[in-house]
Amino acid sequence: MRLKDQVAIVTGGSRGIGRGVVKAFAAEGAKVAFIYKGNQPAADSLAAEVAQTGGVAKAFQCDVANHDEAFKVVEAIEAEWGSIQILVNNAGVIRDGLFVAMKPEEWDVVVQTNLGGTFNFCHALAMKLARQRKGRIINISSVAATNSNPGQTNYAASKGAINSFTRALAVELAGRGVTVNAIAPGFIETDMSENVRNKAGDLIKKMIPLKRLGQPEDIAKVAVFLASPDAGYITGQILTVDGGLSLGAVAM
Ligand code: NDP
């Protein structure tokens, strides 16, 4: 059990990649507080699923884009389980569309959720982690930060900023025993990627040297590693987990 007696927060934990991270952390002995925005049935089913396997996970409703809500939910989690050691900023949204037709609301919601949510939870926890001189922050970025796709200016901007933020915060917190890293997934089979998979699933598989789409578990295993003592000497890094997609190889 690599995360025994640790308390973790996973934002956007009710579905997709976050759900995989919650299950993997709980299986490694962590108490996992996961944040969802609106899909309570998904959140409830995850808490029940984890309890059935003997793990501990509890759902907390919060809009990560809201600074006050982030601070309040962190207080509520501490009241329940005491000090927190691990934060995974995973909650994210897409509003794809060509830039010339992009509505300001589509820009705002993507930047405020993906980047703003990461800021809000780091802001709520960084001082606490620094004071206890122990902590792990893992931000979920995307290969879209560096590999550009049409229709994703808002999303790419949010994820590129998360990469820069990760490196800059890592430098500030390193002296306090807190590591800050990011994972950049490729195509992972979740609700978020459903539209793209339906339109171009076969083409995407051809672009991936390992010849399959990623699963939430592929990302969750890397998150467990980064949260564990084994990753104690890694900080400020963006780990790409994409089956080789970003190598840009031509399909054979
Ligand atoms: P999903 O759409 O499957 O799940 C999103 C999760 O985020 C849900 O739990 C959702 O809660 C939560 N969420 C969304 N907005 C908010 C908010 N404002 N406040 C709180 N929670 C919120 O997404 P994925 O699992 O696919 O993506 C997870 C992360 O991975 C994202 O940051 C995404 O950008 C990144 N990523 C995904 C890739 C992919 O191919 N899927 C590729 C690269 C990166 P609720 O259930 O209540 O709606």
Stretch 195-221: mean pLDDT, rounded?
93
User: How far away, in angstroms, is 175 Cα from ligand 1 center?
Assistant: 31
Checking if the pLDDT of 251 tops 80, the result is no
User: How far away, in angstroms, is 16 Cα from ligand 1 center?
Assistant: 7
The whole-number pLDDT of residue 130 equals: 98
Q: What is the CATH number of domain 7-247?
A: 3.40.50.720
Closest CA to ligand 1's atom 10: 12
With a 6 Å cutoff on the Cβ, whether 112 touches ligand 1 is: no
Stretch 126-131: mean pLDDT, rounded?
98
CA of 159, closest atom in ligand 1: 34
With a 6 Å cutoff on the Cβ, whether 20 touches ligand 1 is: no
Catalytically active residues, by annotation:
155
Local confidence band at 202 (pLDDT 50, 70, 90 cut-offs): confident
CA of 14, closest atom in ligand 1: 9
**Chain centroid to CA 201:** 23
The total of other beta-carbon atoms located within 10 Å of residue 48's CB is 10
Local confidence band at 115 (pLDDT 50, 70, 90 cut-offs): very high
The residue type found at 238 is I
In the chain, % of residues over pLDDT 70: 99
The whole-number pLDDT of residue 201 equals: 83
With a 6 Å cutoff on the Cβ, whether 55 touches ligand 1 is: no
With a 6 Å cutoff on the Cβ, whether 214 touches ligand 1 is: no
- The distance between the two most distant Cα atoms of the chain, rounded to a whole number of Å, is 55
With a 6 Å cutoff on the Cβ, whether 17 touches ligand 1 is: yes
